[in-house]
Structure 1
């Protein structure tokens, strides 16, 4: 008998078994950071898009958490101004995937399998991840938090995607309201998709540390939200990039403070 969703959530809320190493993407020609396990061959890898005005350093613990579970996680530090180009940001996310699959990431014994690639992001980074996935057949899964609409529209790009998608939205988000952003993207999705609504959270809850943008945007870092996002993102990418079924029960269950709002596959099964 498999583990209960509550137990899986608890397990994935803690760091995984791998020692984590931080690297600098700029050494390979693109500003940004990369977190990797100390070693491992044929690993899954993701590129993560930061939120509006946010530096990638505000997601350090999330990226390191994924790396501790054996997932190479990289985040470009581009398009951080008040008027980012969503199209260029999406291209930068795809370039990040090129780097982690094509450039030597460590002193040896570390590689990313180009058949195990995913994208993730927060706010405009989430919308850009959807755009990037629609233009890159290598991508096998996409996960977002408080995704924002983009130009061109992420909803239009979502219709082209037949890969799994996980979208976490915040109830009462004043920056990217779920109805016009994450919910619209999820309901336009062309493949398996799930939308979860996080209660008692805010737009910036997933970020870490302090930043001047908190004067402009709703909310501040929140440990509970960070814990949920780390566990759900880890379960999602391990399931869809490595083929393991161990964590699928967590993805199919309602979680306290992160209820499933929309999932056609579960509705059909019921």
Structure 2
């Protein structure tokens, strides 16, 4: 038993979802659940567990950190997810200068198995094996994609500003038939290390791709003093809140089956500070040819 301690724009044709606009403000704030935090080390992996204080058959996600980050750099984000009823397991591995993305993916998969296989708290918190997902930021987002390949237990994948990985998450995404949410940036930054739109473009199944105005990969983690020390800018609190709300809505729909939040899985749903892309607009964002730009196939006579 694991013990825990106490300007509106749409780049696509279609209508703007009123429900997304309505619910996002609520989901971007802390949920109603009291949150407990414990150590994943108990199960043989360094890391943390964030969970609602109680609940049976809960949904769970494994969270992957970005390059040179630690779980502590996402404390508010992980607490936020748990406050909305999700169990979150976050391995604190591959934090060195040259991480192994495949190993981080394996640790994400292992930690998700731990969440689904042990009782949490005093035994009053359990996870449903049918409500499992993988999410991550930067390098961790790419590793979440890698961990989902050929994993029938995973029902959804989400990535905040996913980075490039080895092996390629873009290539791995082609085999994924489960729903995905990819959050990208509405602007460039000097540390940009990935192409989130390209990852979404390569997704094999249903995918939702959104960009947050003024949000960047480096601004999402909460390590403010480190950012100031290297001059990479401050923590983007408002943009992080929006990103958290988008992920909560997506996970509540995909893992919990709550149709109240179905618009968070719709590719054309937008709201203030968010721009959504799919089809030709996504291809353009990813730097890929759209359907109308593809050269015609020449038939042999």
> CA separation in 2, counterparts of 1:214 and 1:130?
30
| Secondary structure of the corresponding residue to residue 178 of structure 2 | coil
Larger Rg: 1 or 2? 2
Q: Which residue of 2 aligns with 1:242?
A: 256
1:3–1:146 Cα change, 3 Å: closer
Distance apart, 1:173 and its partner CA: 3.5
Q: Which residue of 2 aligns with 1:38?
A: 53
Matched, 1:260 2:243: no
Paired residues for 1:113-128 under 5 Å:
113-128=128-143
> CA separation in 2, counterparts of 1:240 and 1:231?
14
> CA separation in 1, counterparts of 2:96 and 2:37?
25
Q: Which residue of 2 aligns with 1:82?
A: 97
CA contact (8 A) 2:54 2:125 kept: yes
> CA separation in 2, counterparts of 1:60 and 1:144?
17
Which runs of 5 or more residues in structure 2 are unaligned? 1-16, 283-301
> CA separation in 2, counterparts of 1:257 and 1:173?
18
TM-score (norm 1): 0.91
> CA separation in 2, counterparts of 1:216 and 1:190?
38
Task: Give the aligned length.
Answer: 262
1:145–1:30 Cα change, 3 Å: same
1:216–1:19 Cα change, 3 Å: same
2:38 paired residue among 9, 16, 23:
23
Superposed CA RMSD in Å reads 2.0
Q: Which residue of 1 aligns with 2:236?
A: 222
Distance apart, 1:138 and its partner CA: 0.8
2:126 paired residue among 81, 101, 111:
111
> CA separation in 2, counterparts of 1:119 and 1:190?
16
Paired residues for 1:185-196 under 5 Å:
185-196=199-210
Q: Segments of 4+ in structure 1 off by > 6 A?
A: none
> CA separation in 1, counterparts of 2:18 and 2:163?
34
Task: Point out which structure has higher relative CO (alpha carbons under 8 A, 6+ apart).
Answer: 2
Q: Which residue of 2 aligns with 1:233?
A: 247
> CA separation in 2, counterparts of 1:176 and 1:132?
23
1:198 paired residue among 206, 209, 212:
212
Distance apart, 1:221 and its partner CA: 0.9
CA contact (8 A) 1:34 1:73 kept: yes
CA contact (8 A) 1:36 1:70 kept: yes
